[in-house]
A and B are shown apart, each in its own frame.
Chain A
């Protein structure tokens, strides 16, 4: 199965083109972040002539970036932790038990993720607002409301991927533990979970990324105090001015952690997809 010269060269050309397509915006994000404001407001240049880190300083005061960052961190981490905890129990049930409604549960949960978000945005908005008026439970414009909303967004895929992971763990291990007198929950925590750590980590990162990047619900369910990065970054464009260098600097700062996390764990995603999807 030797590669011919033509095959090798066409592979190189196609891959180079694809890499260029992916790289150009990434390069612009980085190179514009280190340009002074005048340079991003004038004609575009490939190379930053007067590199400066000023944008990384200014970006904190142009908009309350610190608060947005804190809100996003809080919302995304809490949502991810809860989402994964809930998903672990659900996936354990689906993977290890045969019960009435198992199929219906799996199908329903997965299909909710496919529905247009706009469909439950309007009712959810009204429910949150009216619940606040009627009972004083503030879900609208609060981080709690956003956390509850987001944790359901990553739930279906997390359950699905964890079921795949749990299924690939031999049941012999469970049975051995049960012979030793372990109940179902101890079996889950002492046998199944330790063997599924990569899957759990991958799912946690996925849940965090989902909440970190969500725009639609954040734009409606937050106010100035609970605003997350997804909406907050738009604050750099005012009526008179767009601080492009600061936008790019802020984008870079909020992207690097999630991209690094995802890339570090990508092979577990591939493994999870192989286990979950390819059946």
Chain B
């Protein structure tokens, strides 16, 4: 591929004016700003195919594994794709929006279960993202200034993020065992806080267990991102604030948090989407099937699809989930953009 590419377009898209700018601005604006007004880059004398060739492998893979399956999934949601048709899906009859009518009808058994799972997921996501963000930001701010042992703590805090999810969660499964686990040993045998050994992996407590594991795994990522964001805050700002007599809280409120805003905007959105789609934590923690109190939506769709082999309604639930996430994301971006413009 490389040898057939004409070297014509080599210099296109590069202007000396751009070379000195900081990285962030380059990615956003066309570098031709010096000789052309902003906006879409004007037609260039020698348009090159090269960038498209460079992108081709990535585009083909993304199409094959993400885009096309997603479109197929949308099509599947309109079919009666039950176990009788799964071997030969061209025979599955087209049923229009029937699958959606069934799974989104809160009076049907399937709809009621989906709604319950959706509620659990919303509460789970809000609590997990909120607390993970707080812990991550706290740790990053407290590690901002050098002290002895800082490098060790930083490495320790990042470890849960680096651990493969299944080993981390399976360890927690062991901690939460009723008779042989650490949690009950501490609560019942050592602190004597409760008399009966509680079950953690079934019943109401399972939600608490799930949440703790999720926060344990998620907050290091928030820590990592906030730590990266803090490195971009110039020391002069803190010095100026200190000279004005600002204490710790004042500096946090007036310097740190406002400067972290761009990082936080992305971070919270990413955490929200990851947590809402979380499958691994409940799947490994409860060994395949979660109790109703901790039945997150991805696992719920997975279980109901592979239990009944009704991929039509499974796809309908997935598409509905995607639409919900798109709606929330769009709302979030609109809201945060408007506030930025107001400021």
Contacts and interface: CB of A to CB of B under 8 A. Distances in A.
Interface of A: 1, 3-4, 7, 11, 14-15, 18-19, 21-26, 28-29, 32, 40-44, 86-87, 89-90, 92-100, 102, 105, 108-109, 112, 114-124, 126-127, 130, 133, 148-149, 151-152, 155, 159, 163-164, 167-168, 170-172, 174-175, 178, 183-185, 187, 209, 212-213, 215-216, 219-220, 229-230, 233-234, 237, 244, 247-248, 251-252, 254-255, 258-259, 262-263, 266, 269-271, 273-275, 277-279
A175 B16 contact: yes
B321 interface: yes
Given A119-B318, A183-B10, A279-B23, A251 B182 contact: no
A43 to B, nearest CB: 7
A14 B283 contact: no
Interface in B136-189: 138-139, 142-143, 145, 153-168, 170-172, 174-175, 179-182, 184-185, 189
Contacts of B59: 105
A278 B325 CA distance: 24
A119 B322 contact: yes
B156 to A, nearest CB: 6
Interface of B: 2, 5, 7, 9-14, 16, 18-20, 23-28, 30-32, 40-41, 47-48, 50-52, 54-55, 57-59, 61-62, 64-70, 72-73, 76, 86-87, 89, 135, 138-139, 142-143, 145, 153-168, 170-172, 174-175, 179-182, 184-185, 189, 216, 220, 224-225, 227-229, 231-232, 238-239, 242, 248, 262-263, 266, 270, 273, 276-277, 279-280, 283-284, 287-288, 298, 301-302, 305-306, 311, 314-315, 318-319, 321-322, 325, 329
A108 to B, nearest CB: 7
B65 A86 contact: no
A184 B7 contact: yes
Nearest to A89: B54
B64 to A, nearest CB: 8
A148 B170 contact: no
B171 A98 contact: no
A149 B14 contact: no
Nearest to A115: B322
A122 B314 contact: yes
Contacts of A119: 70, 73, 318-319, 321-322
Instruction: Tell me the interface secondary structure of chain A in the complex.
Output: helix
CB-CB nearest 8 A-B residue pairs:
A279-B24, A251-B167, A262-B162, A93-B54, A120-B69, A213-B164, A44-B185, A273-B228
A254 B139 CA distance: 28
B73 A155 contact: no
Given A89-B55, A119-B318, A215-B284, A278 B263 contact: yes
A279 B28 contact: yes
A136 B179 CA distance: 50
B163 A7 contact: no
A21 B318 contact: no
Contact of B228 (A90, A109, A126, A277): A277
A1 B243 CA distance: 8
A97 B51 contact: yes
Nearest to B29: A98
11 contacts: A89-B57, A89-B58, A99-B47, A152-B61, A178-B10, A209-B162, A216-B279, A262-B158, A266-B224, A269-B224, A273-B224
B153 A116 contact: no
A103 B10 CA distance: 20
A99 B59 CA distance: 15
Contacts of A271: 228
Nearest to B32: A98
B174 A244 contact: yes
Contacts of B16: 171-172, 175
Given A93-B54, A213-B166, A255-B164, A277 B225 contact: yes
A86 B54 CA distance: 8
B107 to A, nearest CB: 24
A271 B14 CA distance: 25
A183 to B, nearest CB: 5
A251 B7 CA distance: 51
A234 B168 contact: no
B160 A123 contact: no
Nearest to A8: B147
A28 B23 contact: no
Given A122-B314, A123-B73, A184 B50 contact: yes
A168 B266 CA distance: 21
B70 A266 contact: no
A53 to B, nearest CB: 19
Given A122-B318, A127-B69, A28 B10 contact: no
B281 to A, nearest CB: 10
A18 B174 contact: no
Contacts of A251: 166-167, 170-171
A116 B277 contact: yes
A255 B65 contact: no
Contact of B51 (A99, A159, A219, A252): A99
Residue picked from B7, B23, B62, B220, most chain A C-beta under 10 Å: B23
A25 B216 contact: yes
Residue picked from A87, A149, A259, most chain B C-beta under 10 Å: A259
A247 B165 contact: no
Given A40-B180, A118-B318, A112 B165 contact: no
